């Protein structure tokens, strides 16, 4: 990729809809439609291999992008991802143990970060400092210090970043946002989700059929800044169930919910949060520390309350609704939301019967990022969206751990008891 675009490249980007207010870094990275964009995959587990690679592949020829490098501490995973690149592009992706090696490559333009939760801010901050555009999985961070530092690095770098909260890019989600903006639902008083299941999701990720060989894993690279301990294969694949590496259902499932209602109703950051949780059903030899029951309640400055609940002891009772004084938006089925005047306390124009929300054409989440790599426009889920989904989750976990109400101080960008 050239350091400075030619006039033809710049005009090609503008004609594709690029914003005219480029930063110096962003301007220098405008590429022509005929130039290949080389992608690196950081983290080759289920999200990287199944979601990121498969999400990009339907668009890779049209957008002229290719996975050229992969990294993962576990050789089995990175070999599998490299073989898929061979199948798709006729040449294998280069393989590396560490994300550092990918970020050092001059011919890699952008990276997709699908690593473990405790890796996200480290990998994204490093990508920003290396001036590599990035797609990063949620939740963005596990503590406020790394969250603030990472977000600052992304903003200062001028890279194109997309957060992995893909539900906001559903055509139905944009339809719900347009419905809310019409004013027909009225003032929102409460938003709630109950996202339940018969068994915690971390069981399905843990590999139990075959032993994982220590010689196939760079154990230190996986642990990163966590304390060193003897190799344990169950942590490598079952990390979703351990609080040392993730914050559990509020952060992993709840972040999609938080990001979705932020997108629809325009909220950003709550002022307070209370939460409780624990492991009440799934107690076994694995000693998972993420709660199988969790509930968090936030209050937003717009004058509304938000509730999130997970029950992994009974899969019944799933719901996702936005309640207004003139009606209700029901997103329990994300792909087929409905609206009605149900529960209205004011005169309503909405129909009494559940009515499908009209779709509003919205680019696929992966496609949106790929397009923005060329146009340098802001993505549908920029770094600010990551900050806004992460802070409420961190507030909830701190409230759960301390048993005390948590306050977000916007001026100091910190969470404290209050």
- Residue 2 located in a structural domain: no
- In the prediction, which pLDDT does 207 show? 86
- Shared-domain flag, residues 162 and 180: no
- Shared-domain flag, residues 262 and 182: yes
Say which CATH number the domain at 157 has: 3.40.50.720
- Shared-domain flag, residues 224 and 282: yes
Q: Which domain holds residue 112?
A: 7-166+367-380
- Shared-domain flag, residues 160 and 54: yes
Q: Which residues pair with 134 in a beta bridge?
A: 111, 161
For the ranges 27-36, 350-359, 401-410, which has the lowest average pLDDT? Answer: 27-36
User: For the chain, what is the domain count?
Assistant: 2
Using DSSP bridges, classify how beta strands 110-113 and 94-96 pair: parallel, antiparallel or unpaired. unpaired
- Shared-domain flag, residues 325 and 235: yes
Neighbour tally for 107: CB within 10 Å: 11
pLDDT (tens digit per residue) in 38-57:
999 999 999 999 999 999 99
Ranges assigned E (strand) in 254-344 = 272-278, 293-300, 304-311, 319-324, 327-330, 338-340
- Shared-domain flag, residues 160 and 297: no
- Over range 199-221, report the average pLDDT: 93
- Shared-domain flag, residues 180 and 102: no
Rounded to the nearest integer, the mean pLDDT of the chain is 93
- Residue 276 located in a structural domain: yes
Q: Which helix (H) or strand (E) holds 65?
A: strand 65-71
Looking at the predicted structure, is the pLDDT value of residue 22 above 50?
no
* 330 within 8 A of 338, measured Cβ to Cβ: yes
* 105 within 8 A of 43, measured Cβ to Cβ: no
pLDDT (tens digit per residue) in 105-135:
999 999 999 999 999 999 999 999 999 999 9
- Shared-domain flag, residues 109 and 236: no
pLDDT (tens digit per residue) in 291-312:
999 999 999 999 999 999 999 9
- Shared-domain flag, residues 357 and 289: yes
- Shared-domain flag, residues 217 and 255: yes
pTM of the model: 0.91
- In the prediction, which pLDDT does 33 show? 57
- Residue 181 located in a structural domain: yes
């Amino acid at each position: 990729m050239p350091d400075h675009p030619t006039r033809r490249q710049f005009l090609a980007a503008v004609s594709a809809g690029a914003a005219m207010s480029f930063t110096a870094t962003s301007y220098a990275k405008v590429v022509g439609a005929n130039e290949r964009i080389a992608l690196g995959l950081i983290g080759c587990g289920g999200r990287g291999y199944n979601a990121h690679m498969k999400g990009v592949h339907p668009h890779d020829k049209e957008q002229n992008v290719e996975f050229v490098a992969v990294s993962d501490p576990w050789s089995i995973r990175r070999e599998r991802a490299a073989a898929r690149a061979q199948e798709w592009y006729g040449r294998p992706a280069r393989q590396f143990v560490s994300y550092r090696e990918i970020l050092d490559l001059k011919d890699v333009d952008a990276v997709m970060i699908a690593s473990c939760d405790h890796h996200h801010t480290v990998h994204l901050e490093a990508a920003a400092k290396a001036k590599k555009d990035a797609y990063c999985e949620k939740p963005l961070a596990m503590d406020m210090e790394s969250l603030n530092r990472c977000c600052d690095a992304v903003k200062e770098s001028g890279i194109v970043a997309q957060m992995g909260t893909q539900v906001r890019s559903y055509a139905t989600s944009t339809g719900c946002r347009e419905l809310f903006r019409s004013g027909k639902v009225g003032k929102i008083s409460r938003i709630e989700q109950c996202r339940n299941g018969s068994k915690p999701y971390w069981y399905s990720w843990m590999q139990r059929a075959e032993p994982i060989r220590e010689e196939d894993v760079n154990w230190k690279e996986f642990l990163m800044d966590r304390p060193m301990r003897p190799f344990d294969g169950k942590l490598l694949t079952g990390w979703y169930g351990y609080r040392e590496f993730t914050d559990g259902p509020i952060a992993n499932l709840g972040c999609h919910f938080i990001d979705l209602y932020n997108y629809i109703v325009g909220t950003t950051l709550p002022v307070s949060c209370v939460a409780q949780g624990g492991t009440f059903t799934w107690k076994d030899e694995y000693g998972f520390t993420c709660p199988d029951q969790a509930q968090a309640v936030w209050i937003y400055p717009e004058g509304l309350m938000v509730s999130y609940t997970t029950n992994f002891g009974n899969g019944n009772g799933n719901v996702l609704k936005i309640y207004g004084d003139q009606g209700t938006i029901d997103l329990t089925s994300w792909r087929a939301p409905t609206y009605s005047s149900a529960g209205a306390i004011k005169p309503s124009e909405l129909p009494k019967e559940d009515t499908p929300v009209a779709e509003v054409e919205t680019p696929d989440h992966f496609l949106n990022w790929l397009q923005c790599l060329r146009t340098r426009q802001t993505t549908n889920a920029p770094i600010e969206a990551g900050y806004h989904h992460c802070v409420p989750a961190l507030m909830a976990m701190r409230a759960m751990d301390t048993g005390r109400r948590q306050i977000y101080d916007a001026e100091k960008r910190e969470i404290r008891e209050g």
